[in-house]
Amino acid sequence: MSELGSVAPGFAGARRFADWRGAMQYAIPGLGAVFTVLLVLVPLVTLVIFSFRQGTPWQPGNFTFRNYAIAYSNALTYKMFVNTALLAAMSTALSTVVAVFFAYLTERTDMPFRNIAWGLMLVPMAIPGLLFAMSWTFLLSPNIGLFNVLIRDFLSLFGYEGTTGPFNVYSLSGMVVLEGLRGVTTTFLIMVGAFRAMDPNLEEAARTAGANGSKTFFRVFLPLLMPAILAASMYGFMTHLESLEIPLVIGLPAKIYVFPSYIYFTTQLQSPPQFGLSAALGASFLLVSILLVFWYRRLVGKAGRYTTITGKGYRPRLTKLGGWRYLCFAIFVVYFVLVIGAPVFVLGWSSLLPIYMNPAWDLLPDLSFMHYRAVLNETGIGAATWNTIVVGVVAATMTMVLSLLCAWLISRRQTSGKAFLDVVTFLPHSLPGVIVGIALMFVFIQPPLSHLGLFGSTWLIALGLTIGYIAFGSRTMVGAFAQLHSEMEEAGRTSGAKWSVIIRRIVLPLLMPSFISGWIWVASHSLRNFSVPLMLSTRDSQVLSVIMWHSWADGYPGQTAALGMMLIVGLAVLTIGGRMLMSRLHKQQTS
C-alpha cells in the first residue's frame, strides 16, 4: 500500500502536467482571440469614456454631460440622423432590388451571356468609392455634367432651352442612386448562392398547380428567399451607414450631412475641432450598431432554416425568357456602363486633358500625359505609394491571421465565450471608419499607449483597417471551417501532433484558397480605403487615397484622375492575379 501511495501522487502530477500541456497548445488561438477583443473593444470603450469629458485627446478635461447636451440640442444633429437613415435605407432598397434581379437572371434564366455577366458583376469592386463619386461629378454635375449636356442637347430638338440639369448629382437623391449602384455587387454575391440552392421541385409543384413564371417567382421564390434577402439587406444597410466617400464628395458641397461626413466635418474642418461632440455622437451610433449586429445575427439564423436542398444531383431548371432574353441582357449592359464604363471613361478622359472639358473630337489633339508626369514627379508620391503598400500588406496579413484564430475557436471549441467572440468580431462592420479612426486617436494619443509612438504611423492605420475588416475575415474563415470536417484535426491530435502543427500542416493547407481569397480582398480594400487613413494619417503616413482627396479638394481634378487611374490599374492587377492564383490552388487541391 505504501508503494501504491507513493506512486499515486506521481501519476496525479503527470496528469496535471498533461492537462496543462494540452491547455497550453491552445494558448495561441486564445491569445489571438484576446488580442482581437481588446483591439476592437478598447478603442470603443475609450470613445464612450471620452464622450463624457471636456477638452481634446491631447488634454482631456473634466467629466461632463455637456457634449451630449450640445449634440442633442442642435437641430442639425436630428437632420443629420434623418439623412443618414434615408440614405442607408433607400440605397439598400435600390441595391437589393437590382441585385435580386441580376441574381435571378444569371442563376435561374436562359439569359444570353449570363456567365460573362456573372463575372462582370465583380468588376465594380476594382473602382474605389472616392473615384466613383468623383467620376459622377463629371457625369451629372448640373451645369457641365456629360450626361446632362447630352440630355439637354437631345431635348433642344423639341424646344427645350435649359442651361442646367435636368439631373443634379449634388442632392440626397443623387447620393442614394450612387450608393445603391455601388452596393449591388456585395448584395449580389450574398444572394446568388440562395438562388442557386432553390429546390426545383418547388417550382415544378407551382407549375403543376397552373402558376406561370411571374406567379412562381412572386409566390414561391420570394417568400422562400425572404429571410436571405432580409439578411443581405441588413448587411448592405450597415455597409451604407458607414460609407464616407459619396457623402463627402457629393454631399459636403451641397451641405447634406450624414453621420460619417458630419463627424469628419466636426473634427477636421471646424475650428476648433469638436472632439467631444464627435465622441458623443459616435457613442450614440455605437449603441445603434450593437442593436443592428444582434438583429443581423437573428436574420442570418432564420435564413439558415429555409435551406431547401442538399446533395450532388441538384440541377436547377432555367426559366425561359423568350423574347425578353436580350432585353434583360441589355439592362445588365446599362448597369455595367453606369458603374464601370462611364466612370472609367470620364476619369481617363479627365486625366488626359489640361483642363476638363466634355469629350469632343476636336479635343483629341490636346490629349497628353502631363497629369501623369506631374503625379509621378510630385514630392511625396513615392512615400505615399510605399505607405499604401505597407498598410495593405500588414492589414491583410493581420486581419486574416486573427480571423483564422478566432474562427477556429468559434467553429471548433465548445466554450461559453464563443458567441461573445462572434459578436465582437462582427461589430466593426456596422461602424463607420471615422468612428474607428477617432477611437484609435483617443487611445494612442493618451498614456500609456502614447509611449508606443504609433499615432501618426502607418502601423496605426493598419490597425484601424484590421478592426474594420475583421468582420469580413472572420465570416470568411468561419465559413471555410464549416466546410472542413473536424475529423482531420482529430486524426492529427490522435497521432500526437501539437495544435500549431495541426494548423500548419493540415488545416491551413486545406483552407488556403479561402485564406488567400480573404487576404486579397482585405488587401485590395485596404489599398483603396479612405475613411480610416483620412482620420489617422499625418504628413509622414499619408496614403494614396488621402492624397487623391486633398488633390481633389485643392482643385486639381486632372492630377486626381491620373492618380486614380494608376490606382485602378494596380487594383485590377492584384485582383486578376489573385483570381489566377486561386484557380491554380483549386486545381491543385482537386487534382
Tens digits of residue pLDDT in 218-232: 666 667 777 778 888
How high is the pLDDT of residue 84?
Answer: 93
Average pLDDT over residues 528-552: 89
Locus of grid cell 441588413: 234
Average pLDDT score over residue span 372-386: 89
Whether the predicted pLDDT of 320 surpasses 90: no
pLDDT digits (tens, 9 = 90+) for 485-522: 777 777 777 777 777 777 778 788 888 878 888 898 88
Per-residue pLDDT, 305: 53
Q: Would you kindly state where each structural domain of the chain is located, as residue ranges?
A: 25-62+386-541, 75-368
Query: What is the predicted pLDDT for the residue at 242?
Result: 85
Q: Please give the DSSP secondary-structure letter assigned to residue 271.
A: S
Q: Is the dihedral of CA 564, 569, 574, 580 positive or negative?
A: positive
What local confidence, expressed as pLDDT, does residue 585 receive?
64
Lowest mean pLDDT segment, chosen from 103-112, 268-277, 300-309, 466-475? 300-309
Helix (H) or strand (E) holding 54: strand 53-55
Query: Is a pLDDT exceeding 90 seen at residue 203?
Result: no
The predicted model gives 367-376 an average pLDDT of 92
Annotate 473-516 with DSSP letters as a single string.
HHHHHHHHHHTS-THHHHHHHHTT--HHHHIIIIIHHHHHHHHH
- State phi, psi for 88 to the nearest 5 degrees: -65, -45
Look at residue 204 in the predicted model and tell me its pLDDT: 61
Same fold, 25-62+386-541 and 75-368: yes
Averaged pLDDT for residues 548-560: 90
Of residues 297 and 196, more confidently modeled: 297
pLDDT at residue number 304: 52
The terminus-to-terminus CA distance of the chain in angstroms comes to: 62
Mean pLDDT of 419-448: 88
Listed in sequence order, the residues at least 6 apart from 244 whose beta carbon sits closer than 8 Å to its beta carbon are: 129, 260, 261, 264, 432, 433, 434, 530, 531, 534
Residue 1: pLDDT band by 50, 70, 90 thresholds? very low
Confidence of residue 10 (pLDDT cuts 50, 70, 90): low
pLDDT band, very low/low/confident/very high, at 292 (cuts 50, 70, 90): confident
Mean of the pLDDT values across residues 105-117?
84
pLDDT one-digit tens code per residue, 68-101? 999 999 999 999 999 999 999 999 999 999 998 8
Mean pLDDT score, 109-121: 83
How would CATH label the architecture of 25-62+386-541?
Answer: Orthogonal Bundle (1.10)
Do 162 and 152 form a contact (C-beta atoms < 8 A)?
yes
What mean pLDDT, rounded, does the chain reach? Answer: 83
213 vs 295, residue with greater confidence: 295
Share of the chain above pLDDT 70, in %: 85
Model pLDDT for residues 15-66, shown as the tens digit of each residue: 554 444 555 566 888 888 999 999 999 999 998 999 998 887 888 888 889 9
For 55: left if phi > 0, alpha if psi spans -120 to 50, otherwise beta; the answer is left
- The residue that leads in pLDDT, 202 or 104, is 104
The string of DSSP letters for 422-491 reads HHHHHGGGGS-HHHHHHHHHHHHHSTTGGGG--TTSHHHHHHHHHHHHHHHHHHHHHHHHHTS-THHHHH
Residue 313: burial class (beta carbons within 10 Å; 0-12, 13-18, 19+): exposed
Give the pLDDT mean for 418-423: 86
In this predicted structure, what is the pLDDT of residue 586?
60
Give CA–CA dist 383/540, Å, rounded.
8
Annotate 241-275 with b (16+ C-beta within 10 A) or e (fewer): bbbbbbbbbbbbeeebbbbbbbbbbbbeeeeeebb
Helix (H, G, I), strand (E, B) or coil at 541: coil
pLDDT above 50 (res 572): yes
The answer, yes or no, to whether residue 310 has pLDDT greater than 50, is: no
Q: Is the pLDDT of residue 326 over 80?
A: yes
Superfamily of domain 75-368: MetI-like (1.10.3720.10)
Q: State residue 175's pLDDT score.
A: 94
Is the predicted pLDDT of residue 476 greater than 50, yes or no?
yes
What pTM did the predictor assign? 0.84
